[in-house]
């Protein structure tokens, strides 16, 4: 039957509009629409709608739209996007002030979706989730980051268990981003000085709901060869590359926004990497005729800063030589001496040996600063007391806003149905509202929770086996045995995060006998899925991966311990849905907040964690498991490691397993299900980025 109202050009426009607004990254129906157009390309392209469309001819698209439900699916996705874009801000008044003057957010990595791989880990995911929630609540929000053409890296484990990094060059044309051009169609460019060279910077634009991201890059023909690949890789190269990337991000980003005639109300520096933006703002003030002191006062009015790590190595520091080499032109243009400039990045301005620290610059140039959890706030205040002579640590002006996650991004498809049933048809707008959770959870039948757990655990196991099979084929091995790994009935523990050594991935193997007993108990089967990347230059982290992989081949653990290759957002979504227990055992207080444990809650997983970061705020004795106590350690690390390992065994053997395997006559683990419900009720409404971004608005973005 020919549909009279069918105008292909109109429908095609809708398809492209949908594909170019990354709101699909948290809208399952839109993902399904694109996936169905070409399941194989969808799968192969890291779930990228643009890649799917580039495979499909006009004729095919026309004929597919005319058949079956495809057109009505399109129209329903499109209507849902339009409705989303027009949503009324909540509450409407407080955000109005930003309508003409956006909040601009600078971050060295922003992770929106696995198909746009410009993130390495937690910092990037947090930035992405912040971007999405800003859009959800209707905050005028512009993110600035770099376009890393080669992304982070694809992790391949070789047959010796050693991590290999593979870099793939991404073509912007196959990504959901578009070059930023002027009305004449020419690339918009700004120039930044690095050393003696002028480097051109262009940008791509990504649209995420109502938020906008600019992805800066230097891969332009007019740039000298070695500046063209400056922005190729996330955190790639040495300190010269690092400072150059940060000049592009900070100075280039601020200039680029001005070129586009933005007049930001607030510059939010997410971590110190972007702090050079304050130099560009200083420069701007000085051109207006202000002296340097007045200029700093003006800059501070607009800037806020978030610090994320208590690890000293996590704060960029540059030598005076490198600063002189890279920025002397800029320093001259500010009309100040190199010495004075260095003092902006020094805790002790007169210490000539002290390198230039980006965190110090950010703190000195901001009107307000925060850490990312209560404990991280305390640690940060202690860490930076030297910057505030005469102040006691508790009076250092660094507050805290505890990190969250973007609920819809991390919610599994299977769990959506559960919330649809318990909250009602508008559940996705309500899922972050505390009031909803008072009643919603009690409406979910126990059987439904348990069946959800089975469905999600099974999906994770199938996914893991498939990845393992492909890996074995790559090694040239037989892969039949893969079918016999993992069991859908076993308690499934996930340990998935960057393999930074402070996170102590192999902690559960501290006492091999005890680990073997725990993981070999035929009556109470337990399995652990590990996943995560080590930084390319972190051999100690890679050694941890190798250790885990060797143990996964040890007969005592085979089939119950697996390492899943190439942790990214897609793998993370599988894991946070399928795991029953999310294990987190960092050296306290080094996990500033952590967020991955928040992602499991809506999917019915439970946290088992050291009392660090967000967890020590969320844990109430009933909504998960604590490893050890909420107190500072004075012990040497190796002793503390042993104690933490003992506490870990203790909680798994005496609390986690007995609760999970305590089954009622109906077969249901009633106490476990009760804990899941407590976890949902107490954690879901608080540890999300909706709450977090609102807190940023009221405590930091709105001037007091």
The minimum distance between CB 646 and ligand PLP, in angstroms, equals 23
Residue number with CB closer to ligand PLP (245 or 595): 595
Burial 632-652 (b: 16+ CB within 10 A, else e): eeeeeeeeebeebbebbbebb
Question: In terms of Cα–Cα distance, which of 346, 372, 410 is closest to 129?
Answer: 410
The minimum distance between CB 121 and ligand PLP, in angstroms, equals 4
Burial 37-59 (b: 16+ CB within 10 A, else e): bbeebbeebebbbbbbbeebeee
The minimum distance between CB 533 and ligand PLP, in angstroms, equals 8
The minimum distance between CB 565 and ligand PLP, in angstroms, equals 13
Residue number with CB closer to ligand PLP (121 or 525): 121
Residue number with CB closer to ligand PLP (18 or 600): 600
Q: What angle do CA 68, 69, 73 make, to 5 degrees?
A: 155
The CA distance from 231 to 237, in Å, is 10
Residue number with CB closer to ligand PLP (53 or 592): 592
The CA distance from 196 to 520, in Å, is 63
Residue 406 is classified by DSSP as: -
The CA distance from 302 to 308, in Å, is 20
Residue number with CB closer to ligand PLP (497 or 691): 497
The minimum distance between CB 595 and ligand PLP, in angstroms, equals 4
Please identify, among the stretches 85-93, 171-179, 411-419, 561-569, the one whose residues bind ligand PLP according to the rule CB under 6 A: 561-569
Residue number with CB closer to ligand PLP (11 or 690): 690
The minimum distance between CB 155 and ligand PLP, in angstroms, equals 11
The minimum distance between CB 184 and ligand PLP, in angstroms, equals 40
Residue number with CB closer to ligand PLP (138 or 594): 594
**x/- map, 567-596, ligand PLP, by CB under 6 A:** xxx--x---------------------xxx
Residue number with CB closer to ligand PLP (125 or 648): 125
The minimum distance between CB 457 and ligand PLP, in angstroms, equals 19
Work out whether 271 is an interface residue with ligand PLP (CB under 6 A): no
Cα Rg, the chain, nearest whole Å: 26
Residue number with CB closer to ligand PLP (268 or 573): 573
CB distance 220 to 189 below 8 Å = yes
Residue number with CB closer to ligand PLP (14 or 573): 573
Backbone angles phi, psi at 533, to 5 degrees: -105, 145
Residue 579 is classified by DSSP as: -
The minimum distance between CB 334 and ligand PLP, in angstroms, equals 37
The CA distance from 257 to 332, in Å, is 23
The minimum distance between CB 10 and ligand PLP, in angstroms, equals 37
Secondary structure element (H or E) that encloses residue 450, with its range: helix 446-475
The minimum distance between CB 697 and ligand PLP, in angstroms, equals 23
Tokens standing for 614? 């967000």
Please identify, among the stretches 291-299, 340-348, 564-572, 671-679, the one whose residues bind ligand PLP according to the rule CB under 6 A: 564-572
The minimum distance between CB 601 and ligand PLP, in angstroms, equals 13
CB distance 78 to 18 below 8 Å = yes
Q: Tell me the three-class secondary structure of 30-92, residue by residue.
A: HHHHHHHHCHHHHHHCCCCHHHHHHHCCHHHHHHHHCCCCHHHHHHHHHHHHHHHHHCCCCCH
The minimum distance between CB 567 and ligand PLP, in angstroms, equals 6
**x/- map, 119-158, ligand PLP, by CB under 6 A:** --xx--x---------------------------------
Residues in the chain, how many?
704
Q: What angle do CA 689, 690, 691 make, to 5 degrees?
A: 90
The minimum distance between CB 415 and ligand PLP, in angstroms, equals 17
The CA distance from 167 to 172, in Å, is 15
The minimum distance between CB 688 and ligand PLP, in angstroms, equals 13
Please state at what angle helix 512-520 crosses helix 637-651, rounded to 10 degrees.
Answer: 20
Q: What angle do CA 356, 358, 362 make, to 5 degrees?
A: 125
Residue number with CB closer to ligand PLP (363 or 572): 572
In DSSP notation, 525-576 reads -EEEEEE----TT-HHHHHHHHHHHHHHHSTTTTTTEEEESS--HHHHHHHH
Backbone angles phi, psi at 170, to 5 degrees: -95, 140
Residue number with CB closer to ligand PLP (177 or 571): 571
The minimum distance between CB 532 and ligand PLP, in angstroms, equals 8
Residue number with CB closer to ligand PLP (125 or 401): 125
Question: In terms of Cα–Cα distance, which of 512, 593, 588 is closest to 547?
Answer: 512
Please identify, among the stretches 191-199, 321-329, 349-357, 563-571, the one whose residues bind ligand PLP according to the rule CB under 6 A: 563-571
Site residues (CB under 6 A) for ligand PLP, limited to 594-613 = 594-596
Residue number with CB closer to ligand PLP (18 or 375): 375
In the chain, the N- to C-terminal Cα span, in Å, equals 63
Q: 């049933």: which residue's tokens?
A: 421
Tokens standing for 246? 């940060």
The CA distance from 444 to 141, in Å, is 36
Residue number with CB closer to ligand PLP (22 or 387): 22
The minimum distance between CB 522 and ligand PLP, in angstroms, equals 31
Tokens standing for 110? 């922003």
**x/- map, 509-538, ligand PLP, by CB under 6 A:** ------------------------------
The CA distance from 168 to 152, in Å, is 9
Q: What angle do CA 199, 202, 208 make, to 5 degrees?
A: 145
**x/- map, 486-505, ligand PLP, by CB under 6 A:** -----------x--------
Site residues (CB under 6 A) for ligand PLP, limited to 93-112 = none
Residue number with CB closer to ligand PLP (317 or 497): 497
Residue number with CB closer to ligand PLP (450 or 582): 582
Residues paired with 214 in a beta bridge:
144, 205
Judged by phi (left if over 0) then psi (alpha if -120 to 50, else beta), residue 261 lies in left
Size of the site for ligand PLP (CB under 6 A): 11
Contacts with ligand PLP, residue ranges (CB under 6 A): 121-122, 125, 497, 567-569, 572, 594-596
């Amino acid at each position: 039957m020919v549909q009279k109202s069918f105008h292909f050009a109109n429908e095609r426009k809708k398809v492209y509009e949908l594909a170019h607004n990354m709101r699909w990254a948290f809208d399952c129906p839109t993902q399904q629409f694109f996936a169905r157009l070409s399941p194989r390309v969808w799968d192969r392209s890291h779930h990228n709608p643009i890649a799917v469309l580039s495979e499909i001819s006009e004729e095919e698209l026309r004929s597919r739209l005319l058949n079956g439900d495809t057109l009505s699916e399109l129209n329903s996705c499109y209507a849902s996007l339009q409705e989303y874009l027009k949503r009324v801000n909540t509450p409407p008044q407080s955000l109005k002030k930003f309508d003409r003057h956006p909040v601009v957010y600078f971050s060295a990595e922003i992770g929106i979706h696995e198909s746009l791989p410009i993130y390495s880990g937690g910092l990037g995911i947090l930035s992405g989730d912040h971007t999405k929630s800003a859009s959800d609540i209707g905050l005028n929000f512009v993110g600035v980051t770099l376009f890393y053409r080669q992304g982070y890296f694809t992790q391949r484990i070789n047959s010796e268990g050693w991590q290999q990094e593979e870099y793939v060059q991404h073509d912007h044309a196959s990504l959901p981003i578009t070059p930023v051009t002027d009305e004449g169609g020419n690339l918009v460019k700004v120039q930044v000085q690095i050393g003696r060279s002028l480097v051109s910077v262009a940008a791509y634009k990504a649209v995420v709901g109502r938020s906008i991201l600019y992805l800066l890059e230097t891969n332009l023909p007019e740039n000298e060869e070695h500046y063209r690949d400056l922005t190729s890789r996330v955190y790639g190269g040495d300190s010269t590359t690092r400072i150059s990337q940060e000049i592009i991000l900070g100075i280039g980003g601020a200039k680029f926004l001005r070129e586009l005639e933005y007049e930001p109300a607030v510059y939010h520096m997410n971590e110190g990497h972007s702090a050079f933006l304050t130099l560009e703002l200083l420069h701007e003030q000085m051109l207006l005729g202000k002296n340097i002191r007045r200029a700093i006062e003006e800059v501070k009015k607009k800037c806020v800063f978030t610090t994320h790590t208590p690890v000293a190595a996590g704060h960029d520091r540059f030598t005076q030589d490198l600063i002189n080499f890279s920025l002397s032109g800029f320093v001259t243009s500010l009309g100040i001496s190199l010495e004075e400039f260095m003092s902006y990045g020094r805790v002790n301005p007169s210490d000539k040996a002290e390198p230039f620290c980006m965190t110090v610059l950010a703190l000195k140039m901001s009107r307000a600063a925060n850490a990312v959890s209560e404990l991280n706030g305390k640690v940060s205040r202690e860490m930076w007391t030297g910057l505030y002579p005469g102040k006691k640590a508790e009076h250092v002006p660094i507050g805290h806003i505890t990190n969250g996650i973007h609920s819809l991004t991390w919610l599994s498809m299977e769990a959506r149905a559960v919330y649809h049933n318990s909250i009602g048809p508008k559940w996705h707008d309500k899922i972050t509202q505390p009031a909803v959770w008072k009643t919603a959870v009690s409406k979910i039948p126990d059987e439904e929770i348990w069946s959800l757990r089975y469905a999600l655990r099974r999906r994770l196991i199938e996914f893991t086996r498939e990845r393992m099979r492909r890996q074995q084929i790559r090694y040239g091995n037989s892969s039949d045995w893969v079918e016999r790994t993992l069991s859908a009935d076993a308690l499934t523990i996930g340990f998935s995060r960057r393999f930074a050594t402070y996170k102590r991935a192999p902690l559960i193997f501290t006492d091999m006998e005890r680990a073997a007993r725990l993981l070999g108990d035929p009556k109470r089967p337990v399995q652990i899925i590990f996943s995560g990347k080590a930084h390319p230059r972190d051999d100690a982290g890679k050694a941890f991966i190798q250790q885990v992989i060797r143990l996964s081949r040890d007969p005592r653990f085979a089939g119950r311990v697996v390492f899943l290759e190439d942790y990214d957002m897609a793998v993370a979504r599988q894991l946070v849905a399928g795991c029953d227990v999310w294990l987190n055992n960092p050296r306290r207080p080094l996990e500033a907040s952590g967020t991955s444990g928040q992602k499991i809650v809506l999917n019915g997983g439970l946290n088992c964690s050291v009392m660090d970061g967000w967890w020590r705020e969320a844990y109430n004795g009933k909504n998960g498991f604590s490893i050890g106590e909420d107190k500072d350690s004075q012990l040497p690390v190796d002793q503390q490691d042993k104690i933490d390992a003992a506490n870990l065994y203790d909680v798994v053997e005496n609390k986690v397993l007995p609760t999970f395997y305590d089954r009622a006559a109906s077969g249901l683990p009633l106490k476990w299900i009760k804990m899941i419900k407590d976890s949902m009720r107490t954690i879901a409404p608080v540890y999300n980025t909706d709450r977090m971004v609102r807190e940023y608005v009221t405590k930091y973005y709105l001037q007091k």
